[in-house]
Structure 1
């Protein structure tokens, strides 16, 4: 081999050795890069290829009634999911048939997607078993939580419902969603070398259930109210109705129902307009149920006394360019008679006498025109105009419940003022203080005035009054009927659409319940005494014994005793002939007689003829005429 060839061979060897050395250096650099510089990144990348994570929704806390009975709870239910890139394309049709879904819909969920995807959530167990029996790679069954309301429509409007992702969308479920919602968990699953998920898994963070909430509602009274309302609406072929049952001493809402109802377990089958809780969202003109507060304002002014008399103009009175009518024309009536006969003219005269400001002040103190802040979303404040916008017509109208709009909840809270001897206690729905208002109570009227109005309202439920059909046997009830024309689309009063109302307290001697019944557009009768009062009676006669308040059955016959709040002088007369209504009431009170009055004006007939023979507790019946 020549020298030249030797040099060539040596250079080739050197070149090869250099390349080998360079390769070794590059390998060393790469090894350092992989093992040290990128170690954390590559480790996490490997873990991601080996493991996958998904979020597991936590169960919501239960909703309980005041006795600890379950009103809403979360139950486990299967859902079908998949790792989209692991499902064989050839088995999509088979999977869709088992799920009962169009194959195109399943294919859209899987196509061009990677990782975890829901195929069908909250399916019946039978479908879940059928899918899993196919043993399709990448398809898995997961456990979710579904909200269940055991009382169905009876609590639908009050409790609301929960969406498929576990968020409250209506009612209590929405208003107290933060407290009821639990903390979601994180679950990790392993994959094999081909990327297929393995059946085992571990919790990186276990799901934590939400807090329970205890309501003031009583499930039994809720059922009683719902059944009575449904029967009342159906019997009158009405459009709908609402009932609120409240315990006056602490403002606890014992029942809140609407008809027609909806089942929150299948809420998608109903229109959104059917979901709202009309007892707090919808307003209506209260009609004559506003008169007790107008009377209270007049008594509080000092210008009027319970035995003051008013001439009711024989059923028609002109105020400015507007004529006020009474359904039953009356002459002279005292303040009690105005409520008993439900005279628009009588209460309008009293309101015009005291003026707009005192009446407005009484109404706002009683809670009208403002939200109760009980916690339910969508609550309406109602409509009470500023007194500077009240002329004589507005003042007169508002006194008998027109030109003002209230919710059933507001009316119940206002009647609780009368039951509480003048103290307003805010409505309360949640026990124990989760967003519950501080119910210290505020003074709305003097206790003596509240007692006087309650006495008048008790007489309004006697056979002389418009609310006689509200009285259960053996119980004393104080209440007021209301009938109000509904405004039409043009803002005028409709001639054929009415709201029938009854609001009352029972029993009078120890108020346990305030019940407000509102019936929307009854067809057979428009009067609150004929339509709403019987619903009140059905609720009271079932709820009071349930609460441990027994009926007091006496030998009173068909008449009820009437209590007079004021002290009355002793009358020496042996006859009531020629006495006014005020005088004959004082006469009956002085002797402890049970009085039944017919007509108005002055006494022209009495029964028995010999009043002197009557003993305390016996009945005196008189007829009055002008």
Structure 2
């Protein structure tokens, strides 16, 4: 009996000892070997992290107009388990289909989906139609949910929205290729959004804290806070009004000529600030997913390379002027020239024996071969091409810029290089930088799009300063070259750029019509790339523009198709900038359609006279006039004394103005005249539309008077040789043929 008790005691003791050994081993395993794992699991119950989303930087134009910003957005969510439990499946599917336009079959799949254990999901986002929708859609979802709650007398129906933020482009497709876009996940994809992504995106903030089992924050627990860093704001060199002028003119020409693509860039030639840049076809960054053709996203302005054709002759011309080889009065035989066994031709068989200046106006290939290949020489010709920036990137602050090439090898390659064909390929931005060097006194400038970078967190502002790459030609050479290029436009008889002529503004420019290489590697006369490049005013350049059309339909060249687009953009932009028109011959109107200048009366000098005396004098001489303000004497006038007056043009007499200047009735006036008068009154100006003033509204902004002008075209306008579409109304003007490689 005693022995049995001892054995039982020993057995029980052994079991207890074994239990404690197992328990200790288990504790050791959990606390030591798996300590880190269980520490993390425990932390999940009391440690929490809240992400504070950073705002992506705002992008504005040079005048502060918003082009891209973050705005509130909402994501539609559903709770499949609740929807099925409430018996609302069919009603929810139909309602969401009507609001979001999402296919019923996809909604059924979303709401009926189950997890791997066969249970309905608790929460799902409605993508993509319900992802990051605007306030209007969110309100419709809330209204729909409320109706279901009232109809079935229940509180939770399993649909709602979660607040988020998204990128929004308020002007839709305006400047789309400059801005680029971010995708629905918020990742930068193209344009400035991509190039400046690091500065724009900022850094999310973070708050770490501890809570009890019910999620209530512990009062004495440790917490850490990482402040949010919002993205930098970008102010661009782009002027949204000029950008609008560009895109409006492009759409008109694109509809008429139906090219494969079209590109326009405008810049301040003195600084190479990009004022506008656009391509067609284009896209809407707010709905980038609706763009089917990926080519629509392509920024030809900086990425496409092509044989430039006759616009490249500017380089040859500038080089020969710089080397003092260009004699405008010397003559050569046009028509054709032999380079070894190769014959290089002029358009239309040439024009006989002509001067080199006429060769520039006619855009003679033979003349430029003689200038660039024979006079300037191969080495210097290539050197000037390099110095003007061809074959190298400009360094513009946009992604994907191509560098092109200048690689002549055979003798004929050097000869054709002189007029922009053969072993030379350039980008539009390179060409605009080159012609701007002629406009600004010989300085090759680095183009840029971002004018200022503002850090909203610190208030620090970084301003981009104009950067000169090199002095390519002397200021005197640039001036002379510009005067020859002005003749290409001003000569209304033989100038290939005559359709770019703008009455009252001196324009310099060059046409280009380049034959493209076909699929067989040979030039195909049916496929052309036509262009026009120039700047204005010649005496004080404010804007330089390049216009390019790839394979326009019809028998057109750079002078017939591209030059009118240039004209429309530049004339509107200069008037918008407030650049006054100046007429030649001291009080005569500029020439129109090749006719002789028409005499015009000039404005008399009324400044300093009493208002009464000035009125009597103008009335006696038959001038139409209007006095502005109640002062006794004339402080200023528009147009200024000596300015040629158009038929019926009004003279404005302005007396001293106080803080609240009197605004005259400007209805019926041209934009130019209205801007000049308002500028003298020192008031803020806003303009919409084009043509003549039909409506004006006054307001006060920050204590300063503002005037908003609405303009509409005058149906009686348009007595020039060209209509708005670029078609000639003069039967004596023939279309330039693109059948030969000249412009």
| Shorter-chain TM-score above 0.5 | yes
Match of 2:240 in 1: 219
Check 1:439–1:106 CA distance in 2 against 1; reply closer, same or farther (3 A cut).
farther
Match of 2:320 in 1: 298
Do 1:292 and 1:339's aligned partners in 2 also have CA atoms closer than 8 Å? no
Do 1:180 and 1:212's aligned partners in 2 also have CA atoms closer than 8 Å? yes
Do 2:503 and 2:590's aligned partners in 1 also have CA atoms closer than 8 Å? no
SS of the counterpart of 1:68? coil
Check 1:180–1:107 CA distance in 2 against 1; reply closer, same or farther (3 A cut).
farther
Match of 1:558 in 2: 591
CA-to-aligned-CA distance 1:487-510 (integer Å, 9 cap, x gap): 111221112111111100100110
Q: TM-score, normalised by structure 2?
A: 0.65
1:452 positional shift: 1.0
1:241 positional shift: 0.9
Match of 2:437 in 1: 417
For 1:146 and 1:357, locate their aligned partners in 2 and report how far apart those are by CA, in whole Å.
Answer: 55
Given the alignment of the two structures, is residue 285 of structure 1 paired with residue 307 of structure 2, yes or no? Answer: yes
For 1:28 and 1:295, locate their aligned partners in 2 and report how far apart those are by CA, in whole Å.
Answer: 95
Residue of 65, 70, 84 corresponding to 2:66: 70
For 1:396 and 1:330, locate their aligned partners in 2 and report how far apart those are by CA, in whole Å.
Answer: 20
Check 1:219–1:30 CA distance in 2 against 1; reply closer, same or farther (3 A cut).
same
Match of 2:360 in 1: 339
Query: Any unmatched runs of 5+ in structure 2?
Result: 150-154, 216-222, 454-461, 596-743
Residue of 416, 419, 436 corresponding to 1:400: 419
Given the alignment of the two structures, is residue 466 of structure 1 paired with residue 480 of structure 2, yes or no? Answer: no
Residue of 194, 197, 205 corresponding to 1:177: 197
Check 1:174–1:35 CA distance in 2 against 1; reply closer, same or farther (3 A cut).
closer
SS of the counterpart of 1:102? helix
For 2:452 and 2:541, locate their aligned partners in 1 and report how far apart those are by CA, in whole Å.
Answer: 23
Do 2:265 and 2:546's aligned partners in 1 also have CA atoms closer than 8 Å? yes
1:191 positional shift: 11
Match of 1:122 in 2: 132
1:23 positional shift: 6.8
Match of 2:109 in 1: 104
Do 2:166 and 2:186's aligned partners in 1 also have CA atoms closer than 8 Å? yes
For 1:169 and 1:272, locate their aligned partners in 2 and report how far apart those are by CA, in whole Å.
Answer: 13
Deviates more, 1:452-461 or 1:203-212: 203-212
1:511 positional shift: 0.5
Match of 2:452 in 1: 432
Do 1:306 and 1:452's aligned partners in 2 also have CA atoms closer than 8 Å? no
For 2:25 and 2:337, locate their aligned partners in 1 and report how far apart those are by CA, in whole Å.
Answer: 106
SS of the counterpart of 1:79? strand
Do 1:78 and 1:128's aligned partners in 2 also have CA atoms closer than 8 Å? no
Match of 1:380 in 2: 402
Check 1:432–1:259 CA distance in 2 against 1; reply closer, same or farther (3 A cut).
same
Within a 5 Å distance, the mapping from 1:458-497 to structure 2 comes to: 458-462=486-490, 463-464=492-493, 465-497=495-527
Check 1:371–1:136 CA distance in 2 against 1; reply closer, same or farther (3 A cut).
farther
SS of the counterpart of 1:546? helix
CA-to-aligned-CA distance 1:163-210 (integer Å, 9 cap, x gap): 112111011111111111122345789999899xxxxxx996565431
Do 1:287 and 1:402's aligned partners in 2 also have CA atoms closer than 8 Å? yes
Bigger helix fraction = 1
For 2:307 and 2:27, locate their aligned partners in 1 and report how far apart those are by CA, in whole Å.
Answer: 84
Check 1:96–1:355 CA distance in 2 against 1; reply closer, same or farther (3 A cut).
same
1:369 positional shift: 1.2
Do 1:230 and 1:260's aligned partners in 2 also have CA atoms closer than 8 Å? no
For 1:546 and 1:57, locate their aligned partners in 2 and report how far apart those are by CA, in whole Å.
Answer: 41
Do 1:312 and 1:343's aligned partners in 2 also have CA atoms closer than 8 Å? no
For 2:237 and 2:115, locate their aligned partners in 1 and report how far apart those are by CA, in whole Å.
Answer: 48
Match of 1:568 in 2: none
For 2:27 and 2:47, locate their aligned partners in 1 and report how far apart those are by CA, in whole Å.
Answer: 25
CA-to-aligned-CA distance 1:568-625 (integer Å, 9 cap, x gap): xxxxxxxxxxxxxxxxxxxxxxxxxxxxxxxxxxxxxxxxxxxxxxxxxxxxxxxxxx
Match of 1:564 in 2: none
For 1:482 and 1:37, locate their aligned partners in 2 and report how far apart those are by CA, in whole Å.
Answer: 78
Q: Paired residues, what number?
A: 546
SS of the counterpart of 2:370? helix
1:279 positional shift: 0.8
Residue of 329, 338, 346 corresponding to 1:318: 338
The higher radius of gyration belongs to 1
Match of 2:636 in 1: none
Deviates more, 1:545-554 or 1:414-423: 545-554
Match of 1:450 in 2: 478
Q: TM-score, normalised by structure 1?
A: 0.77
